[in-house]
Amino acid sequence: MGLHRYLTHGAFKAVRWLRVTLAVGGSLALEGPPIQWVADHRRHHAYADREGDPHSPWRYGATVAGLAKGLFFAHCGWLFQRQSSNRARFAPDLLADSDIRRVDRLFPTLAAVSVLAPPLLGGLLTWSWSGALTAFFWASLVRIALLHHVTWSINSICHVYGQRPFATRTDDRAANFWPLAIISFGESWHNSHHADPTCARHGVLRGQLDPAARLIWLLEKAGWVFDVRWPVQQRFDSRRLTTQTAVRSEP
């Protein structure tokens, strides 16, 4: 919700303390400094599934062998031959934000906190090495691995498998993949997202669960989030490719 829908796409605006909190929370996910994360993702949208996309699964063609290689590349292989996106080109707004720049510089410290805080708390609460190691395994290693694989699955699986009810840019193969909807907090409604990237809700059709959108709605009710870009029926109707139920215009 923070790195993607907010900082990358501006799907809503937030009060200052929440803006900083979301940037810090995104950093604790250990997916890189927030400004670089945003730059990489905006580049992905600019060149989705064509030359220039940092992690397209179609990079090696549509043959069985090429797609198998491409799925691995899109999932995590791109990190081993990474070409960082130009921050000045793709994220000038964040570079101009002193709060976000400060969080970005603190990424190494926040990463250390994310990894070391769970075993420290586990050890103190149980006053044992067993408690510390258990917390390190589940709350550090397993948490980070699960989070990363869910995120990477959006890059890989959701650009190969699933439904495409809405038109996107030429060559953009983003798809809705329902099995990942809950554990990705609604991010796997990827075709809907690519059809309207700035929309705060990705699960725009009836029955499409989107926990992140519900959280945005709650924060809006609390007055901490405003100018939310909720789905507009006419906008999605203009992009519709298949017969579907009505778009959810409410949060």
| Over residues 17-40, mean pLDDT | 97
CA distance 46 to 36: 15
The alpha-carbon radius of gyration of the chain (Å, integer) is 19
Q: Read off the pTM.
A: 0.93
Q: What are phi and psi of 160, to 5 degrees?
A: -130, -50
| Per-domain boundaries in the chain | 2-237
Q: Is the pLDDT of residue 243 over 70?
A: no
Q: Is the pLDDT of residue 205 over 70?
A: yes
- Tens digits of per-residue pLDDT, 44-84? 999 999 999 999 999 999 999 999 999 999 999 999 988 88
| Over residues 115-140, mean pLDDT | 96
**Residue-level length of the chain:** 251
Least Cα distance to 211 among 190, 188, 182, 236 occurs for 182
Question: Cβ(132)–Cβ(118) under 8 Å?
Answer: no
